[in-house]
Amino acid sequence: MEKRKIILSGVKPTGTPTLGNYIGAMKNFGKLQEEHKDDLFVFFVADLHALTTPQDPKELKKNINDVAALYLACGLKEENLLLFIQSEVVEHVQLSLILEGMTYMGELERMTQYKDKKQKQVEGVSSALFTYPVLMAADILLYDADFVPVGEDQMQHLEITRDLANRFNNRFGETFTIPEGLVVKTGARIKDLQNPLIKMDKSAPNPKGCIYLLEPISSVKKKIMSAVTDNLGEVKYNVKKQPGIANLMTIYSSLTNLSFKEVEKKYAGKGYGEFKKDLAEIVAQEIEGVQKKYNELINSEYLKNLLEKGKTEASKLASKKINKVYKKVGLK
């Protein structure tokens, strides 16, 4: 019988996810899991990665459980899922330290995300941010992941993971599976409601531009109704001339599966008011569904038991791998 494949993904618990996160990635994880129902889906809350930048301890603790509950609320199923919190499996850090000894400074200095974050961070850059890709490599290699769902901005991290796995295997003998990128169908990129030229982001300067998955439904509707449009008055998909309406149409299309042409036809001769009102109801209904499931999960024994079970199973796999690595490098 063929060994089932392992698909691995982790999410940082930094702030409440947004509508942009939901449409762009979160709601697709359930579909991906369904497509690979004969494989093992390893999904962890990457709380150690959150520490690369300053965090409020109370907020971080809350966000860790929120992320686990929200991803389940957005479609992850228990059947072929291994769900756990990264920091509860100490082997992630142990393997990261081993791999750091095989990683060159130049490789890390070339990482695009490091350069970008270095430019944005005002208060100096931590060494943890610099070595972030090594911990990410450890996350993947620890479980012999066959596939890692990646977007374009993460391909560089996967490449350094593959390089480190090959480097270790060449030096110490076959130890790690070389992971492959799983280019998944991502949802549309949702823009800021007040400035449709930038992406919807939880750290946006204007809070009215961003919809959070856990904010009150009345607030969600208000933000849609007050979203920036234009004075042309036509519901047409034209990113250059009507970026605000194009963004709202993208949200509409993503949540109803109607094409842009179908949306245009539906609102032909009608003003923005009716379109926005309908969209506000569609978004509210979608988020309400997520919040209902989240509220059922967040303080439940079910979530607690699922994370505990995940921790136990992940620890077994990780312990076996780290023992093998320690023997190879001479620590055992």
DSSP 3-state of 220: helix
The reply to whether 27 belongs to the active site is no
| Bridge partner list, 11 | 45
Structure tokens at 258: 């109607």
Q: How many helices (H) and strands (E) does the chain have?
A: 15, 5
Tell me how far apart the alpha carbons of residues 147 and 33 are, in angstroms, rounded to a whole number: 12
The answer to whether residues 25 and 187 touch, using CB atoms and an 8 Å cutoff, is yes
Phi-psi region for residue 127, left (φ > 0), alpha (ψ -120 to 50) or beta? Answer: alpha
- CA 99 remoteness from chain centre: 24
- Of 5, 62, 117, 309, the active-site residue reads 117
- Of 62, 199, 266, 311, the active-site residue reads 199
Helices (H), 36-111: 47-50, 57-73, 91-100, 105-109
Tell me how far apart the alpha carbons of residues 325 and 183 are, in angstroms, rounded to a whole number: 29
- CA 245 remoteness from chain centre: 26
DSSP 3-state of 15: coil
The reply to whether 199 belongs to the active site is yes
- Of 202, 293, 309, 311, the active-site residue reads 202
The reply to whether 117 belongs to the active site is yes
Tell me how far apart the alpha carbons of residues 263 and 258 are, in angstroms, rounded to a whole number: 6
> What amino acid positions are annotated as catalytic residues?
117, 199, 202
